[in-house]
Structure 1
């Protein structure tokens, strides 16, 4: 066998591998571009608007044993003020002397204003086909009230600072059967699962883009999903025990993520795969 022929045979596997990698890269880029185009086409008619409208109705509707609306609920800017409130959550509340995120605070208001029990106030936190969630509708409405506003998360109060530090530890904590942490998927550039990009949340620009678009309407599920749902699902995928709804664990992690995205312009509820 001549040397030129031998060289070609030896190089063939390397050439095939290079072409395969190039094809995979092109396919990946093509898929990402097509998903972006799909989201753009749907953006003008985001179904989350239906959740927002229902949430606004629920906000004003008298309910519970006390037959009161939520219009006097204080989300941090004063009773009944919804504009811009989500863009400053989580935050410390004097009346409870604790840091609360939106869903914790909603639960508190439904209990104190409407007279619901904790079990009633947290019933059906996440909707499914034929079983809609009032909580997700309220979250959609209140989140939309901060659309276009700048995320401004305070860590001035000692409790806020403590929540941030606990959330940071949770983000980097590795455990479970797969020895995963939040950071396993979200602290490296260019990672993805199937067609889902995994933003590097240690990069401020990525953290801002990701956080500012949640809650979101998920096309694959046909539901608006809150930040609580998103984080619970991450714990499930890490093979961790799923935290209780509206737990301090979720609030602390949300505080860390929100502060990491400080200065972002809110664009939620957005549209997701």
Structure 2
């Protein structure tokens, strides 16, 4: 103890910081290895299989499949569609992400009530089917690079809205998205928090959802992930497919340009 007290304060602080960094790196490596082990038997594959069945199955009042659903690259084309969403769709006159676009197809092609689906809690009824469909479609773009379009005025406007929403502080804790994801080298407990104001890297942030969450044995799409972020910020719960969730998706997706999609990922 005497020897320790004799050391300059700066030396002690530097030593403790080094130990802390080593522990953090060790924890991160451990989590990465844990995820790697689980990836071989990722339960998300079951949701992908369910999504493929739903895509090809005749369902709804019109007894039709979703095989003519246009996700931006033409009717029925799913490969490469996910890494270019959200984007503007002329038929709806708005920018849509994968999940909200799938609901549009379920409504127009199969006759489902899109408004009722949007009101359904995550993980239940047709909303659970939307998540499975999103997993199937997104998986078809695994390994591809994100390149969201920014040609249409609404796409550009949504990026700016998403950027503003990302940095807006509020709620009882005065949080914003940027409070957790606005700088490098942040973490909460053992969880690394990627910087989403820029390209965070392959398979990180936007490029990792939909993902299977081991902690609650659930498959989450980006809509549910954003919903949970709003909850943690103590903000009011956003409506499914609302403009603010789409705008945040555009902001993160454009920032993730050239990042490789690893969907379906696996999370804690």
Q: TM-score, structure 2 length as denominator?
A: 0.91
Query: CA offset at residue 26 of structure 1?
Result: 2.9
Which position in structure 2 is the counterpart of 1:52?
A: 48
Distance 1:158 1:203, change over 3 A: closer
Unaligned runs of 5+ in 2: none
Is the radius of gyration larger for structure 1 or structure 2?
1
Query: CA offset at residue 91 of structure 1?
Result: 0.7
Distance 1:164 1:12, change over 3 A: closer
Which position in structure 2 is the counterpart of 1:174?
A: 169
Q: Does the alignment pair 1:98 with 2:84?
A: no
Cα distance between partner residues in 1 of 2:86 and 2:220: 18
Which position in structure 2 is the counterpart of 1:147?
A: 142
1:228 to 208, 220, 223: 223
Cα distance between partner residues in 1 of 2:181 and 2:202: 9
Cα distance between partner residues in 2 of 1:194 and 1:66: 50
Pairwise CA RMSD? 2.5
1:243 touches 1:250 (CA, 8 Å); kept in 2? yes
Bigger shift: 10-19 or 115-124? 10-19
Which position in structure 1 is the counterpart of 2:60?
A: 64
Query: CA offset at residue 206 of structure 1?
Result: 4.0
1:87 to 58, 80, 83: 83
Query: CA offset at residue 34 of structure 1?
Result: 0.8
| 1:250-265 alignment runs, 5 A limit | 250-265=245-260
Q: TM-score, structure 1 length as denominator?
A: 0.89
Q: Does the alignment pair 1:245 with 2:237?
A: no
Cα distance between partner residues in 2 of 1:6 and 1:243: 57
**Number of positions where the alignment pairs a residue of Structure 1 with one of Structure 2:** 268
Unaligned runs of 5+ in 1: none
Classify the secondary structure of the residue corresponding to 1:122.
Answer: helix
